[in-house]
Structure 1
Amino acid sequence: MFACDRCSGGGTDDYNNVANAKPICDTSFGKYDICELAGDARAQGGPGATVTLVSPRAPPKEWQIKPYSRKYLDGLKAVTVRSVPNPGDAPQCTTQLNIPAMVIELGGLTGNYWHDFTDVLVPLFIGARRFNGEVQLLVVNLLPFWVDRYKRIFGQISRHDIVDFENDDGAVRCYPHVVVGYGSRKEFTIDPSLDETGGDYTMLDFTRFLRHAYSLPRDRPIKLGDVRPPGGRRRRPRMIILERTNSRKILNLPEVVAAAEAAGFKVTVAGRPKASYDEFTREMNSFDVMVGVHGAGLTNCVYLPTGAVFLQIVPYGRLEEIARTDFGDPARDMGLRYIEYSVAAEESSLMGVFGKEHPMIKDPAAIHLSGWGNVAEWYLGKQDVRINVERFRPSLLRALEHLQ
């Protein structure tokens, strides 16, 4: 970046160059807002951050935009987006870059592993991938430790320094194009028919992007029909079972492991990763099958090779729709072979708590109608599972079939 001696006009005025151009800000969608400022766009940081478009064709207008993918959450910070007709009505540039910028927020639910991807990393890919690294991120509520965890992803998104926009006092950064806000229409996936990616990107592109960012070696899982190595036994497909330590634990995990090994898998059980995140992504990429009870840890499916098997164990309580929205549909969009195993009432620890005649067991639909609180507290928060391995075995065999 450089000091600008001629900053009264920051760039070419592209506003409304075509008839019926869309408005600068689209606030019509209930989940998130997006603003596109093309031309002379000026970003002024600090506690009252503003982004201003200077254009004689733009009627004076102002929006308060929360640049996060779930604008309805409490505690988010707003950025003022303005359009003005005259350069004198806008702050004067102190620095200028001939690349686009994106204004985003890292607040909200950032820190929950599934939300890290669903609310930040996937929407960021949707909004920024079209710039091929030539974009600067202006971040509200910058979380340096969090960005450091995903530094390889951020390094692929942008080749430029991240700006702590809230604390960027005194600077007026001018760009030819600024995007304020980001989001995705569906959870944990990309729908190119709805999400404006600028390149028809899909979730397959996102997982390829991750493999490139982390230098992951495997694009495909083992194929059981491959020729047996000379003088050796055919390799067994590698399965990882994700172990939970709070709610939704598999109470008879050793039995499940034994059943999977008897079916022909080489099984690894993993809890919270102890290695660095980079090392953990490489470990995840080495598996052909991932198994786990519904929860944030299943987000690790993004590092599986395309065509690998993802077996989600859905706790009791009519949670199948939630499970498919959060993981099943995204897994298919990633090119994974998705299998769903729904826990029966007899396999749930809630049976011992309530008995088979209680509505919690007998009528889960009524529990859902009573409000999310009971669903979250009991079906998600206070339930463990004891898998009937005989009932589970067909799911293991299906996983093998998918690797043929």
Structure 2
Amino acid sequence: MTRLPPTTLLRAAASVRAALQRVTGRMVPPEVALLELASGFMASRTLFAVAELGVADVLADGPRSPAEVAAVLGTDPDATHRLLRACAAWGVFHEGPDGRFALTPAAGRLRSGTADSMRDVVLMLGHPDYQQVWGGLAGSVRTGAPVAEHALGRSLWEHLDHDPAFGATFDDAMSRLTALDWPTVAAVYDFSRFSTIADVGGGHGQLLALMLSAAPTARGILLEREAVARRAEELLRTAGVLDRVRIQPGSFFDAAPDDADLYVLRRVLHDFDDEQAAAVLTTLHSHMPDGATLLVVESVVPTGNAPHLAKALDLDMMVFVGGRERTDAEWRTLLTSTGFEPPRIVPTLSSVSLLESSPRRSS
């Protein structure tokens, strides 16, 4: 497991970073600040090009000149130099006095096939299809409805099935983001006290495999749509936990396991509006045995002007699927209105929090 710095140190660092951003914002003329914000797409598209071309892989064995990188990639030497130079200004790659470029820690995360790689996430976020949907944000604000179907010609879920290449990139990015959150989740929650863990809407089983690694005597259940569940077997086998897992194809709108003592929903409910999210929770409530625990792993949007990734992810949910990120009060209302006890909310050092609850039974 990744070793985390002390919680107090990381929170202090986050506070200092936010304070510096506020101070910088006051020192920069507002028109300059707006220009920098509006130019943010350039960084996203540049990182996408670096990931798509595989530049970081070429530099894995040591510094190279732009001409040497271009020779390996089959790209234009001058254009390659300009790409590397732009990235180096952001701390992605470093140009030495001899004009050769080397990996930085950030650039190292753009390599492919490494345990800490973020390449698939960058490829997803910078993909033209993903960017095209975000281009319709104003339309989503006008109507309150998602614009993915208009931008892509079909819903996001249908598009992932229609375009296998983008679907694979999306799936790999989701698995990486699950693994990215995991150390912060495992640091604050004990999974070993449960005997049967049900991952509801658990995708390819990445989170379930991690939870079972933290609970070596527990068994697991993966509830997922059949098309997705079929692809989970390989990941679970590779993780060495397949023999402890029951894969249960189905939709969480109308089915759930009846025999678990921990039910986990990780970034499932934010895909839906309140009515649909309530339907998922109501189904779960009807299947959960007495004494079972519900663990919702989601962002909690902070109040005020504090920076938080959830505030941008909320727009992401809006344009793609019509879902939403929720505040503390909104989560409490959603859970209690569907028959659950008021949740215990446990923050983590990542953008997610853990909302622990249990079904409220009538006396």
Greater RCO, CA 8 A, separation 6+: 1
| TM-score for both structures, normalised by structure 2 | 0.27
Larger Rg: 1
TM-score by length of 1: 0.25
Q: Which protein has the bigger helix share?
A: 2
More strand by percentage:
1
